[in-house]
Amino acid sequence: QIDKWNHFDENIKLSENIGVTADFLDLHIENRDGELFTTVYQKPSYEPYYLPFSSIHPLHMKKNIIFTMLLRAIRYCSTFQDYLNERERLRMALLLNKYPNKFIDTQFIYILEKLNIKQLLTINNYAEYRHKIIDSPIKEKVPIDFGKTMFVHFTYCSNMRAFPGKFHVSWNKYFAESPINDIIPTLGTRNVNNLQRRLVHTRLYNSE
């Protein structure tokens, strides 16, 4: 059966393994005396490259990286110690990518608040809060009505940080009473086509 699945896509190779541990995608599973434990699995080829903090990208994109990775750590790590280990690995990777330590700590706290966790995670409350996060319903994405949505893309740079807010203020000011106000403007960013972006793109392309 494994051989059959491996012919579906040449980029995906599955292997059969019988033992007390198993790795599937980014999840490590271990059987310890009949009890299953899980944590984050990193492939041998893993390298700690994230979007550099110095890159010309909106700040929310950098915050989203931390949110996604820490949320994965909580969901995957079945013990508090494994969670701490994964959180500190994430911190080190972010520091290597020039993220300020204060910024990282602020985001760690913000993420817990976003998940309705009003206190720091400890060995005593970790299991309870983790199960609440795992059992929490996933918000369904609101479908986009392309007939009533206008996408506006602009090249992002540091002096354009306030542009989205000013755009919506101007839109409401001039089109509030106009039929065009039925159209929902959605802003998106386009990266500056500079040397740094080209070097990052080249590195990613060559590493494939």
- The tens-digit pLDDT sequence of the chain (208 residues) is 677 777 777 777 777 777 888 888 889 999 988 889 999 998 888 888 888 888 777 788 899 999 999 999 999 999 999 999 999 999 999 999 999 999 999 999 999 998 888 888 999 999 999 998 888 877 777 787 777 888 777 776 666 667 777 878 887 887 777 877 778 777 776 665 655 555 555 444 444 4
Least Cα distance to 108 among 125, 88, 124 occurs for 88
In the chain, where the domains are located: 2-135, 149-207
